[in-house]
Structures are given as C-alpha cells and as structure tokens.
Structure 1
Amino acid sequence: VTFGLALPLSACSGANEHMGSKQTVEHMDDGHSHTETTAPIEANMSHEAKNVEAVMSNYSKQITAKDLAAMEAYVLTDGEEFTIFEGKGTNIGWADYRDNHLAPELANEDLVFTKYDFIDFKTFVDGNIAAVTFSIDAAYNYKGKEASHVGHGTAILKKVDGKWKIAHMQT
C-alpha cells in the first residue's frame, strides 16, 4: 500500500510533461465527471515502494534466521548513519546496535524466534528517501515457553547507489 502527498498537478514542476495521458470519466451515470490521469510517476513510485517493502521484509526474515551478516546488507553501516529506538532503548550506529543489542539477543540459546515478520506496510517514497510503517508479527520460544507478539514500527530508508538501506527504525 502506498500513500503520497495530495498536491494539485499544477504544483508539480513539469507535471504536464511527465504525467501521462488524461481522460474524462463520467461517474455513476449521474452527469458529473472527473479527469483521471494515468501517471508513469505513480507507477514508478509503486515500484519503489515495493522495493522498500522487500528490504524491510528481507531484513525481518534475517532475525528469524539469526543472521547478522545478512541483516547488515539492508542497513546503513557507516558511523552513526543508522539509528534505532526500541522501547526505551536507543542505539546509534549499526555497530552499536549489532554488537550491544542484536548479537547478545540472538546468541541467547534460551530465545528461539520461529517467526519475526514485518507485515502490513504503509509506504511513502519521495526521491531517495522512504518512510514505512509496519506491523511486527513475532512468535518465539523462550526457556521452553511458546509466546507471540504483535507490535508496530516505523522505518526511514535512504536509497544509496541504487539500493534501499534502512537508516532509522522505531519499534
């Protein structure tokens, strides 16, 4: 699911050049009509939103797999480019989050995730920046007890060298 800014076409620079074809469509046979535009930009945004959602989905699957190296492929890793706010906790930089939060948690033999999926995406893409809200569907075993959790999160992604990378998450 994507959402965007509700701007009149006249507010967009070069809108008439890039927005595709227009047609008038009568609505409900009651005499009034709307002008509809088939927009290549919207199709491209939908494609980019799908790419963003694939990054989020693939990242979450690596939590179940306990694969830190694979997770790293989906985040900004330099210095403090990546941040995460999780509950009351804050980690600044991928190395901080990886080494001080994820590694100890995933090394805990008493904790086994059977499912950790980001789902129900609502995605907004504007150029090389994307924001996405999502639900977290988790199931796990902790010290022999089965449990599940549904939560929510928000992420900001940045497109770098043609690839979407997670810059920030709040879960």
Structure 2
Amino acid sequence: MRNSITTTLFPALAAVALAISPAAAQHQHGEGEHQHKGSEKSDASMDMPGHHMKDGMPHFMNEGEHATAVEAALTSYAAAAAENSVEGMAAHVLQTDDFTIIEGSHPNWGWVDYRDNHLVPEFESEDITINAYAYDDFRISATPMIAYATFKIALEATVRGEDVERKRMGTAILIRTPEGWKIRHLHTS
C-alpha cells in the first residue's frame, strides 16, 4: 500500500513543487493575459487550451475556469459531508487507493479505507451529529491537469450531547479526470 502512495502521490506533489518555483510564483496574471513574451512551450503534451507555461514550466492560474471548477468540487464535497452523504462525498474524490486523507494526525490510505473505517462509523454514530460543515476563503492554483487549494473549514457538531464549533484549515490536491475535478489528497487539521 505504501508503494502505491509513493508512486502516485509523490509525483503529484513533485509536479506542484516544480510548478510553484520562485520564477513561476513571481509571475501572476488575470484572465485574458495568455501570452508570455519569450516563453515557448517545450513539450507537445503541454500544448492544450488554457495551459500556460512560464520559463518552460506549468504556470498555475489563481482564477479562471479551472480554479472555479475546483472551488465548486470542494464546496460540493463539504456540503455532502454536512449532509452525512457518503455517496455525495464519493462523487468528488478518486474512489481508488490513490485517494489519501489526513484528518488532524490520522491518515486513511485509499477511498475504501476512509469510507469504511472513518466516514460510515462516524456518520452512523449516535455520539456525533454534524450540524454544519463548510469550506470557504479558498486560495486555488490550477493548471488544466492538476490543482491545489487551501481553505478555511467551519465545523459545528454535537458530540456526546455537547455542542462544539471548530475553525480549521485544509489543503487539497485535485486532478482533472474525464468526469471532472476529483480530490486526490485532502489534509484537514
């Protein structure tokens, strides 16, 4: 299982790290400013609509159609969690062993592990009732293929008869699939 994580998650993280190099991080622009003087696409696989290159590396966009779609996917995922809907949450994640999640300090490796050993027992527990769960204040960087996001998390729940309210932070890595943007990795703490 760990080899699967090493071979699937780390390359995605490496792509993110390369894409946010100081050169790429210094160059920000809005929609409509798609030409980079002196910048040439170095790989035919990168020649796709909406993909931007800067100094030969993928250039992440902070706005536009991909960032908007990523925010929608994460917002819908959180709304499904607020409704205790495992099926609704599943619609927004990779339902494979490639999905990873860390809540606080507890990891789950793969969708089945998270669904069966975390979500279902929590949603069926009489000790926990989720009253509200939402993500907001997004910071999203996206190419047409991969995106990462940070966001604030607001949780209101009743735990063993006591009302609790928590403000947390989250980080997500998403990939674009033929079915739309899917969460590959989620860290909430």
Please name the residue that 1:29 is paired with. Answer: none
> Structure 1: how far apart are the matches of 2:134 and 2:173?
17
The answer to whether residue 39 in structure 2 is matched with residue 12 in structure 1 is yes
The answer to whether residue 118 in structure 2 is matched with residue 101 in structure 1 is yes
5 Å matches for 1:22-171? 45-78=63-96, 80-171=97-188
> With structure 1 as the length reference, what TM-score do the two structures score?
0.76
User: What SS does structure 1 have at the residue aligned with 2:40?
Assistant: coil
1:58 maps to amino acid:
S
143 and 42 in structure 1: CA distance in 2 versus 1, 3 angstrom threshold: closer
Structure 1's consecutive aligned runs of 4 or more residues displaced over 6 angstroms after TM superposition are: none
Please name the residue that 1:30 is paired with. Answer: none
Of structures 1 and 2, the larger Rg is shown by: 1
User: What SS does structure 2 have at the residue aligned with 1:50?
Assistant: helix
> Structure 2: how far apart are the matches of 1:42 and 1:72?
26
> With structure 2 as the length reference, what TM-score do the two structures score?
0.69
> Structure 2: how far apart are the matches of 1:58 and 1:155?
14
Task: Please report how far the alpha carbon of residue 162 of structure 1 lies from its aligned counterpart in structure 2 after TM superposition.
Answer: 4.9
Task: Please report how far the alpha carbon of residue 12 of structure 1 lies from its aligned counterpart in structure 2 after TM superposition.
Answer: 3.3
> Structure 1: how far apart are the matches of 2:72 and 2:137?
12
Task: Please report how far the alpha carbon of residue 127 of structure 1 lies from its aligned counterpart in structure 2 after TM superposition.
Answer: 2.5
Kept after mapping to 1: 8 A contact 2:128/2:159? yes
Q: Unpaired segments of 5 or more residues in structure 2?
A: 1-19, 29-35, 42-48, 51-59
Identity of aligned residues (%): 33
81 and 130 in structure 1: CA distance in 2 versus 1, 3 angstrom threshold: same
> Structure 1: how far apart are the matches of 2:88 and 2:99?
16
11 and 88 in structure 1: CA distance in 2 versus 1, 3 angstrom threshold: farther
Q: Unpaired segments of 5 or more residues in structure 1?
A: 20-40
RMSD: 2.5
Task: Report the structure, 1 or 2, having the larger strand content.
Answer: 1
